[in-house]
Structure 1
């Protein structure tokens, strides 16, 4: 495998990479490889986001909970589109 050397990297970027590695229990080289691969997938692919199963389940549960909010003229109407005017 080819060694990758990151010279003159912004310290904030290096810290972010290090935090990802620590949070996942990865070595710094493993984190770099994973992050590069994922970044390439985004730029080479269609740009869609793919959630893992637990993230998808949590998002689905949140959407289902929001759909249960009863209609009212106040907060429940936020973000909802009403019927077209005059229709």
Structure 2
């Protein structure tokens, strides 16, 4: 495999890469390879980001759970601020 060496990398960028490595439990070389691959997909492709299978499974489960929530007027209003011109205000 070809070795790539980066010089004069901003410390903030290095710290960000290390945080990704720590969060994923990856080595720095693996993290850099993954970030380069994903970045190239964005620039070479249509710009969309794709989930890996584990992330996709979690998202599908969350969406399925949300679909099972009953439609009730009280729950549907959580987090919404009524407009001043709405009746009952």
Q: TM-score band (shorter)?
A: 0.5 to 0.7
| Gap runs ≥5 in structure 1 | 79-87
In structure 2, distance between residues paired with 1:40 and 1:33: 11
Which aligned segments of 4 or more residues in structure 1 are displaced greater than 2 angstroms?
Answer: 1-10, 18-26, 28-34, 74-78
> How many pairs are equivalent?
78
TM-score by length of 2: 0.65
What are the ranges of 5 or more consecutive residues in structure 2 without an aligned counterpart?
79-89
- In structure 2, distance between residues paired with 1:48 and 1:17: 21
TM-score with structure 1 setting the length? 0.66
Residue 42 of structure 1 and its aligned partner are, at CA, apart by 0.6
RMSD: 2.5
Shift of 1:2: 5.0
Question: Residues 56 and 30 (structure 1 numbering): CA distance in 2 closer, same or farther, change over 3 Å?
Answer: closer
Q: Is the 8 A contact 1:42 1:48 kept in 2?
A: yes
Of 16-25 and 58-67, more deviation after overlay is shown by 16-25
Q: How does 1:26-45 map to 2 (within 5 A)?
A: 26=27, 28-45=28-45
